[in-house]
Structure 1
């Protein structure tokens, strides 16, 4: 099984939390896609790491930073997404930083956890409104926060810390057990 198929399978395990645009990007994944070096910039990776950690913070399990989700997002954007989507993400990161500057007079990376959550909650409300609007055009791409959230989930739950610490992991190949009891509150399975 190649990585693309594994990621699609994880998307199904996540309850199809991955949008059609992300799945389409996986279909078109090419290692020869032109790199967007702005995505490789330390300040870009830094804000991506903080956003991802706000989405999946460290608790009794490792957070998104420990899983290096920022590096995953950069890799996926460079290898699998078109330049217009890469630009949507970069512009979105600027908008998040501008929103934190406007609200707290500090860059996003310097905010407290509560302030980061407040900024991202407002951005997520904007994303929901964007997705619900009635005058959508086919050429309208996904909202930048949709890309970030989906790639954060995908990166985290396909990482070693996410699959082994946040989920219950069974190495494959293993024996097939078609019926495993599940108790409410238990971790979901990763394969």
Structure 2
């Protein structure tokens, strides 16, 4: 807690005796999500993890949640995206939840895996149509950014590179003519 928050809470305490204990109890007992960085809170990271896990679920290899893709997205958006793209991405998190609530009657986190997959498939079709018709000056669709960051975050993570891809910590010579067997995993770079 910083000084400004402490002063604000003291003012609420003193004002609470005048206004009433009910208002004070309501404000004091309402949990707030922890801030992860300047743009995201822990609830948003949990939602991004679930979106990523729906895109890349755990099968015989770990899924996106095991690679902490939600946390990765927050760092990339904060450090690498333009302010305009940051706004689109942040707004997209709430837009995703609202669209899911409209479609399924509940928030994304409350849906089961089948509902999440069906919803994200519909959202994927929407973003493909948007990307196809957009002008160069238009921003990207938020779901496009989420999908790209999910793939980048997963396949560049230790879990993705070592469990989903083939990985050699100290590679040898380059062999451009290796044999390929159907079903082999791709190589991590």
User: TM-score normalized by structure 1?
Assistant: 0.76
Partner of 2:32: none
Distance 1:110 1:47 in 2: 10
1:66-112 Cα offsets, whole Å, 9 max, x none, are 00011111111111011111111111111110111112222101110
The count of residues paired between Structure 1 and Structure 2 equals: 154
1:2-54 Cα offsets, whole Å, 9 max, x none, are xxxxxxxxxxxxxxxxxxxxxxxxxxxxxxxxx97232x01110110000000
Partner of 1:37: 38
Distance 1:59 1:165 in 2: 11
User: TM-score normalized by structure 2?
Assistant: 0.77
Aligned-residue RMSD, C-alpha: 1.5
Structure having the higher Rg: 2
Greater fraction of residues in helix? 2
Distance 2:80 2:66 in 1: 23
Partner of 1:4: none
Q: Quick check: 1:116 aligned with 2:119?
A: no
1:133-156 Cα offsets, whole Å, 9 max, x none, are 1xx333211111110001100000
Partner of 1:11: none
Please give the residue correspondences for 1:90-109 in structure 2 after superposition, counting only pairs within 5 Å: 90-109=90-109
Of the two structures, which has the highest relative contact order with CA contacts closer than 8 Å and spacing of 6 or more? 1
The Cα of 1:173 is off from its aligned counterpart by 4.1
Q: Quick check: 1:167 aligned with 2:165?
A: yes
Gaps of 5+ in 1: 1-34
